[in-house]
């Protein structure tokens, strides 16, 4: 087979990725290029980790992509089940995070939600946030029920929208998890993310008729304030599966409803928590993370605020901040998995 040319890559990169087959072709073409970029996450060695990926049709008939990373030759301390953010995938930046966690003794499991990454569904479209949460629960429950994992503690790791998903999983399974580590969780949109109230009412009306339409306005300063490190901002286009268009109306409406409901239920959170947020985040509101910390009905909770940090704590910050956040996650997991394993 002839090697892929620069022109081929450009054609794939700019192709319509609304449907899963196009996204899968793009991932296959760019996979090796992605892992070779100069980002600190990809410096973690892969040879200490067993990685597996594949597809499985879920109970709603959707083909779901999932991936796992397990340490080679050492017993597992616990399971870490990752919920990715809006527009994202578990196949790019998270690869480096998962390698680091697996080499620290954790079995790491992740999936692409329907409509994102390599899974079936219209790109960037969430027709029902509750169905999405149920899809994630179904996937992780199957893993946790496997005989070799039943005795192990299990933790949720949620990033941005994935933090909201993790909290909703907890509401539906209040005793099933040993804790959750949340990175810039979407408990509330920052004010800069929400259109003027009149525009919002118009969009809500149109969403009922045209939910798949890409129409939600985005401010330019928001795009500039996702990655703080300028060099890492330049690497962002390598995330070829990222949903890059304006949010679809139905998706925006579902996320707005989900955050409004979540804000009202913070007092119901009752599992050990690690909450991490950049103080300069203008995507998800750091004040909502503070409210979660204050209202959660559990003594075992920790809030880490990172000075000057933007939204993407594990992808877009200077190396030292990324390593700091990773160390905070691993220290917290070590403490909580060893505590659980004593009983």
CB atoms within 10 A of CB 224: 12
CA distance 81 to 148: 16
Rounded distance between C-alpha atoms, residue 14 and residue 303, angstroms: 40
72, 138, 84: which is closest to 112 by C-alpha? Answer: 84
Rounded CA separation 49/59 (Å): 30
38 is an active site residue: no
E strand or H helix at 1: none
The per-residue DSSP string of 283-307 comes to SB-HHHHHHHHHHSS-S-EEEEEET
In the sheet that 301-306 helps form, which strands lie side by side, from edge to edge?
A: 49-57, 63-71, 106-111, 78-83, 154-159, 180-183, 273-278, 301-306
Check 84, 170, 311, 336 and give the catalytic one.
311
Identified catalytic residue from 66, 104, 154, 160: 160
- Residue 311: active-site member: yes
> Known catalytic residue: 104?
no
Catalytic residue IDs: 160, 281, 311
């Amino acid at each position: 087979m002839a090697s892929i040319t620069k022109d081929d890559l450009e054609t794939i990169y700019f192709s319509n990725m609304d449907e899963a087959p196009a996204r899968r072709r793009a991932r296959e073409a760019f996979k090796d290029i992605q892992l070779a970029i100069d980002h600190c996450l990809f410096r973690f060695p892969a040879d200490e980790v067993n990685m597996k990926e594949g597809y499985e049709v879920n109970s709603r008939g959707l083909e779901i992509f999932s991936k796992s990373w397990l340490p080679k030759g050492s017993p597992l301390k616990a399971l870490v089940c990752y919920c990715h953010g809006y527009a994202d995938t578990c196949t790019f930046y998270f690869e480096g995070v998962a390698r680091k966690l697996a080499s620290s003794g954790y079995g790491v499991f992740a999936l692409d939600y329907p409509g994102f990454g390599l899974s079936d569904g219209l790109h960037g479209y969430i027709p029902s946030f509750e169905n999405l949460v149920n899809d994630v629960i179904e996937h992780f429950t199957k893993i946790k029920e496997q005989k070799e994992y039943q005795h192990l503690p299990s933790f949720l790791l949620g990033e941005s929208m994935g933090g909201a998903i993790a909290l909703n999983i907890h509401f539906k399974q209040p005793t099933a998890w040993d804790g959750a580590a949340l990175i810039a969780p979407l408990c509330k949109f920052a004010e800069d993310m929400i259109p003027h109230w009149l525009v919002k009412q118009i969009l809500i009306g149109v969403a009922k008729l045209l939910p798949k339409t890409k129409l939600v306005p985005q401010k330019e300063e928001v795009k500039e304030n996702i990655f703080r490190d300028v060099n890492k901002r330049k690497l962002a286009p390598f995330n070829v599966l990222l949903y890059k268009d304006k949010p679809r109306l139905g998706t925006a409406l579902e996320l707005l409803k989900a955050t409004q409901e979540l804000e009202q239920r913070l007092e119901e959170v009752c599992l050990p928590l690690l909450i991490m947020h950049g103080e300069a985040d203008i995507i998800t509101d750091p004040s909502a993370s503070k409210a979660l910390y204050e209202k959660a009905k559990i003594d075992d909770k920790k809030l880490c605020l990172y000075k000057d940090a933007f939204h993407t704590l594990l992808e877009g910050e200077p190396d030292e901040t990324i390593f700091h956040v990773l160390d905070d996650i691993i220290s917290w997991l070590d403490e909580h998995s060893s505590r659980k394993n004593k009983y």
